[in-house]
Structure 1
Amino acid sequence: MLAFVCGVFAGLARFGVSVPNHALSKAAWHGVLMLPVFFGAVVSLERAVALGGGLHLMAPIAAALGGALLLAGAPPALTQALLLGAATVACASALSLLQRQSALHLSVLALGVLAWWFGDLIWLATGSVLEAVPSWVAFLVLTIAAERLELTRMRPTPRRARAVFVAVIIVMLAAIVTSPPSPEFGLRTFSACLVALAAWLARYDIARVTLRQRGLTRFIAVCLLSGYAWLAFSGALGLAGAWRDVHPWHDAALHALTLGFVMSMALGHAPIVLPALTRIRVAYRPFLYVPLIALHAALAVRVAGSLVPAFALRRAGALGNAAALLLFVVAMIAAALVAKRDRRTVSHRR
């Protein structure tokens, strides 16, 4: 969480926002703190808990330690080595899971972890964070896609559709491997895969059905489907070249995916994941929509600021995104307090 908070402040520092000096000094590490450190630790922790802990916990511990050292001002090489070690352990855990149960979604999950490992390797070998970002992003995209693919087993999915899914994943992995030596071709291919995957998920995800239900189930579906729209939009911008870091729309393409898609998934699944990892119960209430709506509205302003272009709009959108993430934390605390109050009410009635 410290890495996450500092990463948000470091991102705001790039827009000239007044932030604590320590966060200002870490502005160059915004992407590292958010992608391989925070999300790497959270995703690997979730997998480690599912596998029963033990040595599997070395992955999130190493990722968190790498972030802590980066925040403490240690040489980046230490963080690079720890992140590569974390991804290596996570790969071993994914293979262990595959040995227990052979399934397509577990294979995609393992490939996602491999993308994380490849991104860490690129950063270690080249020292360029920007070259590693597509691989780190692919790690998150494939992880989410694997989890959604698992749930498609609850609905009949045509064999041809599953074949298309596999083809998109294979091409996406090939694209991130070729993007360092050939960024123009690799990143445009990667972008095409984002559009194709978004269309596939929007068509076959069970969220289309659960959207008609109520409560937390509908909330998760709204988060998912709105996230797929941002994923497709990011890919569409990438087809115009926006995934190149020198492109004026790069900020829009990158954050449409990381904030619009990934964070939407995080907001939707937090009421389920948080209790599983921390044993803190969370009660669903409609106020959970507030940070979600704020996130999308601020992101739309930020994207518009990139497309126009207008730096003031981009800056306002970035501030709005930070506020939305803060609202999300407040909403989760409130939901936890509501759950605690409800348990006390039930115990008193008994």
Structure 2
Amino acid sequence: MRPAQSPPLARHWLLLALLLALLNLLAGLFGGLLRLGSLHADLGDPGAQALLGHGAFMMAGFFASLISLERAVALRRGLWVPLGSGAAGLLAALGLWPWAAGLWVLTALGLCGLYLWAARYRALSLPLAVEASAALALLWAALEFALGAATQARWGWSLFLVLTIVGERRELMRLRPLPSWAARAFLIAWGLLAGVALLMGPLPELAARLGWAVLGLLALWLLRFDLARLQWRMPGWAGHTAICLLLGYVWLLAAAAAGLAGQGQAGGVAWHLLWLGFVFAMVFGHAPLMLPALAGLRPRHSRWALLPLGLMGASLLLRSLAALAGLPAWLALAGTGHALALLLFGLIMAWLLRPA
């Protein structure tokens, strides 16, 4: 039986969850800048040491909080999941990593529970199943991170982000029927990504090559079939989002090519093409559409909102060249460019929230 409609979540708790996610973003950003040499600090200081785990802040603290917050708002329940995920990042910043890791496992289980509730009381569909598999990937990542398996955690977090994004885009593609072979190809790619998770333990090198290959095929599939290819000339935020999406798919293809070329090691070029290129293009594209739902804020449209996308792309190209050429000074400059792109995006969004 379908449950009664729950009341909207309290706005002050929504804003707190959003604030915790942003604090994790800042922690991850500062940690990344320390690693690249863009910022200098005493690395013997416990606080600086904690921030060096910037990947966990970004993936488990920021992105997992943001995505679970969106789900909690849509389902009007489960707000403890993004609140707990964001709070775990604060524990990590204090150096309490075991407690943070345990809380990230618990909140990943909570996100899985939200999808189970949606499947039971809303409607079970292919896009929902894909997004639920993303939550399982987040749980896998949290468990592996708690056990100290960095490679598996990195892949788990990446599959969580990719499958969440792909599931959302597949939902929108129901507006235009796909060729039967394209629908089957999507299912095959989804199944192969599950194979990556299963093979990562016994055959990590084979699993990684398979993972990068499937991500490349997904990028081509999205470039060919996503509705964004029909919408990038549209006015307003619809056109803005489409441009960000298409560029993001190009970054995903570049990440796959770099991974297959041997740049998928820890800290390698491929991972940052995936996270800073693909994932942040999705953030820049969807943030103006998510703000009304998450915080009740409606920014007016401006083409200036594309400027951070260009700055992030330019700094990411510089970072890739610097990493391949072994130029640490350029890496530090690229890191500064990443930070400026994120800061600029926040400032532009704040400016667009003001009355015209």
Greater shift in the superposed pair: 109-118 or 99-108: 99-108
Kindly indicate whether residue 87 of structure 2 is the aligned counterpart of residue 65 of structure 1: yes
Kindly indicate whether residue 109 of structure 2 is the aligned counterpart of residue 88 of structure 1: yes
* AA of the residue aligned to 1:8: L
Q: Report if the CA contact (8 A) 1:176-1:187 is conserved.
A: no
* AA of the residue aligned to 2:81: A
Greater shift in the superposed pair: 151-160 or 106-115: 151-160
Q: Report if the CA contact (8 A) 1:41-1:61 is conserved.
A: yes
Q: Which residue number in structure 1 is paired with residue 181 of structure 2?
A: 160
Q: Report if the CA contact (8 A) 2:47-2:95 is conserved.
A: no
User: Taking structure 1 as reference, are residues 20 and 270 closer, same or farther at Cα in structure 2, changes over 3 Å only?
Assistant: farther
2:300 to 253, 258, 283: 283
Q: Report if the CA contact (8 A) 1:223-1:268 is conserved.
A: yes
Distance 1:277 1:2 in 2: 16
Kindly indicate whether residue 283 of structure 2 is the aligned counterpart of residue 266 of structure 1: yes
Distance 1:186 1:197 in 2: 16
User: Taking structure 1 as reference, are residues 162 and 319 closer, same or farther at Cα in structure 2, changes over 3 Å only?
Assistant: same
* AA of the residue aligned to 2:32: G
Q: Report if the CA contact (8 A) 1:9-1:23 is conserved.
A: no
Q: Which residue number in structure 2 is paired with residue 170 of structure 1?
A: 191
1:238 to 259, 269, 288: 259
State the shift of 1:211 in Å. Answer: 1.3
Distance 1:129 1:279 in 2: 37
Q: Which residue number in structure 1 is paired with residue 64 of structure 2?
A: 40
Q: Which residue number in structure 1 is paired with residue 337 of structure 2?
A: 320
Distance 2:174 2:38 in 1: 46
Gap regions ≥5 residues in structure 2? 1-21
User: Taking structure 1 as reference, are residues 20 and 209 closer, same or farther at Cα in structure 2, changes over 3 Å only?
Assistant: same
TM-score where L is the length of structure 1: 0.91
1:112 to 134, 155, 161: 134
Q: Report if the CA contact (8 A) 2:47-2:94 is conserved.
A: no
Mapping 1:306-345, distance limit 5 Å: 306-337=323-354, 341-342=355-356
State the shift of 1:174 in Å. Answer: 1.3
CA deviation vs aligned residue, 1:222-244 (integer Å, no higher than 9, x gap): 10000000101101111123223
Q: Report if the CA contact (8 A) 1:188-1:243 is conserved.
A: no
State the shift of 1:51 in Å. Answer: 0.3
Q: Which residue number in structure 1 is paired with residue 99 of structure 2?
A: 78
Distance 1:188 1:328 in 2: 34
Q: Report if the CA contact (8 A) 1:45-1:59 is conserved.
A: yes
State the shift of 1:20 in Å. Answer: 6.2
Distance 2:47 2:278 in 1: 25
Secondary structure of the 2:262 match is: coil
* AA of the residue aligned to 2:322: G
Kindly indicate whether residue 48 of structure 2 is the aligned counterpart of residue 24 of structure 1: yes
Q: Which residue number in structure 2 is paired with residue 347 of structure 1?
A: none
Q: What's the % identity of the aligned pairs?
A: 35
- The two structures, once aligned, show a CA RMSD in angstroms of 1.5
Distance 2:199 2:254 in 1: 22
* AA of the residue aligned to 1:47: R
* AA of the residue aligned to 2:259: G
Kindly indicate whether residue 118 of structure 2 is the aligned counterpart of residue 97 of structure 1: yes
TM-score where L is the length of structure 2: 0.90
Q: Report if the CA contact (8 A) 1:184-1:241 is conserved.
A: no
Q: Which residue number in structure 2 is paired with residue 6 of structure 1?
A: 27
State the shift of 1:281 in Å. Answer: 1.6
State the shift of 1:46 in Å. Answer: 0.3
Q: Report if the CA contact (8 A) 1:7-1:34 is conserved.
A: yes
Matched residue count: 331
Secondary structure of the 1:328 match is: helix
2:231 to 210, 215, 222: 210
State the shift of 1:130 in Å. Answer: 3.6
Secondary structure of the 1:202 match is: helix
Kindly indicate whether residue 320 of structure 2 is the aligned counterpart of residue 303 of structure 1: yes
State the shift of 1:313 in Å. Answer: 2.3
